[in-house]
Amino acid sequence: MSDPITQAGTPAPRPGDDKPRPGMSERSIGLLGDRKKARLDELARAGVDQGGVSLVRDAVRRLRRNPVAIVGAVIVGLFVLMAIFAPLIAPHDAVQRFDELTKNLTVDTIPGASGDFPLGSDPLGRDFLSRMIYGARQTLFVGVLATLIGLALGVLIGAIAGAFGGWVDVVLMRLTDVMLALPSLLLAITLVAMASRSSQWTVIFAVAIVSVPIFARLLRGSMLAQRESDHVLAARALGVKERNIVLRHMLPNSLTAVIVQATLTFAVAILDAAALSFLGLGDPDINRAEWGLMLGVDGQRYFEVRPELAYYPALAIIVVALGFTLLGEAMREAIDPKNRR
Amino acid sequence: MLRVIVRRLLQLVVTLIALSALIFIWLRNLPGGPVEALLGERATPERRALLTKALGYDQPILVQYGKFMQRVVTGDFGNSIRTGDPVTEVISRAFPATIELALAAMIIAVGLGVPLGYLAARWRGRSLDNLTIAGTLLGISIPIFFLGYLLKDVFTQNIHWFPPSGRLTTGLDNTNVTGFFVLDGLLTREFDASADALWHLILPAITLATIPLAVIVRITRASVLDVLNEDYVRTAEAKGLRHRTIRGRHILRNALLPVVTTIGLQTGALLSGAVLTEKVYNWGGIGTLITDSISGGRDYPVLQAIILLAALIFVVVNLLVDLSYAFIDPRVRVR
């Protein structure tokens, strides 16, 4: 069993673990006391890094044995590959209208599978299979950007609140409280409604903002817990600058939980984007192939005519959301100190 | 206890005021605001200026907000831009429909979720447990409006078990007392109306219950698993207490606290989900009102009031949940 603490001699506190274990603190303080102040910063960082690596390595080891994590990772991997290599996989262009398809389009028929077009046509005579494959790309784009924007803003707010504490913390957390008091989709709807016309960016932004308070709270909680922890106390006692304590000691140790949350947020982001499209607040670009858009607009409008237009994007969204959720849950379990055995 | 309630109520007021100010300023500063929505893009500048003045949008934002709050205190949220009716009237017409739907969904979610979560925890690792977990994962991964269409397709088109949309069969004359159709039928002894309303309610309620159900099952399961490992459960078993006593007094009661918190937090998910569910089933509640207020030109007075109402409901429900701890957990009562 690899013990993450022994590796560098400095304690590697784990997110969510605010109670230092007995025996660990004396040893680390004694060790730290022997070092020179000038070297402490570097050492502590190295300690954090190595502790981080071993923490990650430890988690990865447990993840590799967990079938849930493997299933999740495989789904996510395939999804990303499909997104990257979409132009190579897709048999046709995603926006080209084919004459052999359009000539069969009527008010209540949309041609199904035929020789060249395994999934048939979409309502505008475009190859549905190619749109599904290109859809992975746009879906990944929307999900990743929404998650990253939410993460960046949330981390910023959470880090400021957690680093300063006091009234800054109170004000910022009140702000997140106000955001959390609104139902998430309602907040997203309001945000989109506030833009004069919706675009892909309003959707991404709205979905991102919804996740900001979650990231902020998570990071802040973890950082506040560390303020009182031994390695921060040791660094402070040795006169490390406050800024360095926050940036080099507290923040890196708090990020694991946030990254895991980001995996789960991705699933929510693509579901919310689909919901916005369904409500008519999505991206108005008819050429854009994105699963949420395909399900929310065409899938809904032509459900009676050709339900496959809803089934395939829905299935794709469910599988991908499931993949990210499985992976995220497994990761959360893996980094949870309770499961460290 | 009283002091806690008073403090929480004060916090609630502060949160709502902050929220109202934010939304107010936000909505007023939009490009293509209500004036544009009312007159269309080709209106002459003169007409625009006239309407801006008539609506009071030419005054400084703080003055506008002050006037708005003045009226809000007297229960006046202004008039809907779309229909001209008072906002309070528009909302109170749609409100009972959503509450009825949300309550029905919550009853399904709790009534099914807690027992399922408990059973899954008791038989951990067995097929029921695995099936339950798989179900909850699927439940949180499925777009619920798609699930709504799927259920609608299967149960109203293929097998005609349920009506496809609406709250009542058209032509059925019911007496409106509270706006909760199922309750109204019982109150006025029009039991056929009650049954009809219930029949319409089932599919939307199941759709809306999906996410809260999945979350409640998971939390219950995790919470029961935690408690099962506690020493006092082992002690109770060692003492030879009856299983039913252990289950009820020791396990469920202790495991329930996180579940109750979750139920409070799921109010938000219910309100979000209601917007989608109501659109699928043409339900005509607050969710429909939101969609209409956005797509038919931005109807800011209505939107603003709904957002505040949603936040109010969420905060009040969670306050009630916190207070209910006192009844479930004696340790909270002592403090």
Whether the CB-CB separation of B157 and B170 falls below 8 Å is answered with: no
> Are B122 and B16 contained in the same domain?
no
Last residue of a domain, one of B74, B96, B124: B74
pLDDT at A79: 94
B285 has pLDDT over 70? yes
Q: Which domain holds residue B299?
A: 87-333
B139 within some domain: yes
Position B159 in a domain: yes
Residue A44 is predicted with a pLDDT of 45
Q: Distance (Å, rounded) from C-alpha B111 to C-alpha B271? A: 19
Q: Which residue has the tokens 């802040």?
A: A220
Does a structural domain hold residue B185?
A: yes
Structure-token match 């040791």, residue found? A234
Shortest Cα distance from A2 to chain B (angstroms)?
Answer: 27
Chain A nearest C-alpha distance from B137 (Å): 7
Tell me: do B219 and B324 sit in the same domain. Answer: yes
- B307 assigned to some structural domain: yes
Paired tokens of A252: 């890196």
**A189 with B294: Cβ contact below 8 A:** yes
Q: Residue A100 pLDDT more than 80?
A: no
Cross-chain Cβ contact A279/B137 below 8 Å = no
CA angle B66, B72, B74 (to 5 degrees): 115
**Residues B103, B36 share a domain:** no
Regarding whether B150 and B25 lie in a shared domain, the answer is no
Residues B108 and B134 in one domain: yes
Partner-chain contact B143 A275, CB within 8 Å: yes
Mean predicted lDDT score pLDDT of chain A: 78
Residue A183, pLDDT > 90, answer no
Q: Is pLDDT above 80 for A9? A: no
Q: Which pair of structure tokens corresponds to residue B306?
A: 């709904």
In a domain, A137, yes or no: yes
pLDDT for the residue A150: 94
> Residue B35: what pLDDT?
67
pLDDT (tens digit, 9 = 90+) per residue, A225-252?
Answer: 787 788 888 888 888 888 888 888 888 8
Considering the domain architecture, whether residues B10 and B36 belong to the same structural domain is answered as yes
| B138 and B101 belong to one structural domain | yes
Q: Which of B13, B218, B272, B304 to mutate to test the interface with A (most CBs of A within 10 A)?
A: B272
By C-alpha distance, the chain B residue nearest A310 is B146
Query: Is residue A291 situated within a structural domain?
Result: yes
Asked whether B149 and A310 are in contact (CB, 8 A), the reply is: yes
Mean pLDDT of B126-151: 90
**Quick one: B177 and B265 in the same domain?**
yes
Residue B81 lies inside a defined structural domain of this protein:
no
pLDDT, tens digit (0-9, with 9 covering 90-100), for B192-243: 777 888 888 899 999 999 999 999 999 999 889 888 888 888 888 888 888 8
Residue A3 covered by a domain: no
Which region among A188-192, B182-186, B299-303 has the lowest average model confidence (pLDDT)?
A: B182-186
- Pair B49, B197 in one domain: no
pLDDT of residue A337: 63
Q: What is the pLDDT of residues A122-146, one digit of tens each?
A: 777 788 888 899 989 989 999 999 9
Say if B286 falls within a structural domain. Answer: yes
Same domain? For B46 and B168 the reply is no
The CA distance from B124 to the nearest CA of chain A, in Å, is: 16
Could you give the CA distance from residue B56 to residue B94 in angstroms, rounded to a whole number?
A: 27
Let me know if residue A134 belongs to a domain: yes
| H or E element in which residue A51 lies | helix A37-64
The band of A340, judged by pLDDT with boundaries at 50, 70 and 90, is low
Mean pLDDT of chain B: 82
For residue B275, give the CATH number of its domain: 1.10.3720.10
Closest partner residue to A318 among B142, B290, B314, by Cβ?
B142
pLDDT at A16: 40
Domain final position from B52, B74, B96: B74
- Residue A68 forms contact with B (CB below 8 Å): no
Check CB contact under 8 Å for A183 and B143: no
**Top-confidence residue, B330 or B17:** B17
With beta carbons under 8 A apart, name residues in chain A contacting B311: 178, 181-182
The 10s digit of each residue's pLDDT in A308-320 is 888 999 999 999 9
Q: Which amino acid is at B65?
A: Y
E strand or H helix at A335, and its extent?
Answer: helix A308-335
Question: A218 lies in a domain?
Answer: yes
Q: Give the integer Cα–Cα distance in Å for B124 and A20.
A: 31
Whether residue A16 is contained in a domain is answered as no
The CA-based angle A208-B17-A211, given to 5 degrees, is: 15
Cβ–Cβ gap A275/B145 under 8 Å: yes
Confidence (pLDDT) at A90:
82
**Which of these ranges, A200-214, A233-247, B13-27, B271-285, has the smallest mean pLDDT?**
B13-27
Q: What is the mean pLDDT of residues A195-202?
A: 78
Contact assessment for residue B315 and residue B18, using Cβ atoms and an 8 Å cutoff: no
What mean pLDDT comes out for the span B64-93?
83
Of B41, B74, B107, the domain-final residue: B74
A109 occurs within a structural domain: yes
Whether B105 and B69 share a structural domain: no
Interchain contact A71–B (C-beta under 8 A)? no
Domain count, chain B: 2
What is the average per-residue pLDDT within B83-87?
A: 85
pLDDT confidence of B59, banded at 50, 70, 90?
A: confident
The arithmetic mean of pLDDT across residues B268-295, rounded, is 87
- Residues in B whose CB is inside 8 Å of some CB of A read 14-15, 18-19, 22-23, 26-27, 30-32, 36, 137-138, 140-143, 145-146, 149, 153, 267-273, 275-276, 279, 290-291, 294-295, 298, 303, 306-307, 310-311, 314-315
Read off the CATH number of the domain in which A166 is found. Answer: 1.10.3720.10
What per-residue confidence (pLDDT) applies to B114?
92
- Do the domain assignments include residue A44? no
Q: Quick one: average pLDDT of A114-122? A: 77
Give the residue with greater pLDDT, A4 vs B318.
B318
Q: DSSP letters along B219-278, please?
A: HHHHHHHHHHTSHHHHHHHHTT--HHHIIIIIIIHHHHHHHHHHHHHHHHHHHHHHHHHH
* Proportion of chain A above pLDDT 90, given as a percent: 19
Predicted confidence band of residue A54 (pLDDT cuts 50, 70, 90): low
Q: What is the mean pLDDT of residues A319-336?
A: 87
- What's the pLDDT tens digit per position in A212-229? 998 998 888 888 878 778
Rounded to an integer, what distance in angstroms lies between the CA atom of residue B50 and that of residue B53?
5
User: Total structural domains in chain A?
Assistant: 1
| Overall size of chain A counted in residues | 341
- Residue B82 inside a domain? The answer is no
- On whether residue B79 sits in a domain, the answer given is no
Domain that holds residue A154: 58-339
Would you say residue B161 has pLDDT above 60?
A: yes
The answer to whether residue B332 scores a pLDDT higher than 70 is no
Contact partners, residue B105, CB within 8 Å, separation at least 6: B204, B205, B206, B208, B209, B212, B270, B273
CA distance A199 to A281: 8
Average the pLDDT over A306-332 and give the result: 90
CA distance A83 to chain B (A): 20
Q: What is the pLDDT of residue B37?
A: 61
- Distance of alpha carbon B191 from alpha carbon B263, whole angstroms: 31
Q: Are residues B156 and B269 in the same domain?
A: yes
Q: What is the pLDDT of residues B299-313, one digit of tens each?
A: 778 888 888 888 888
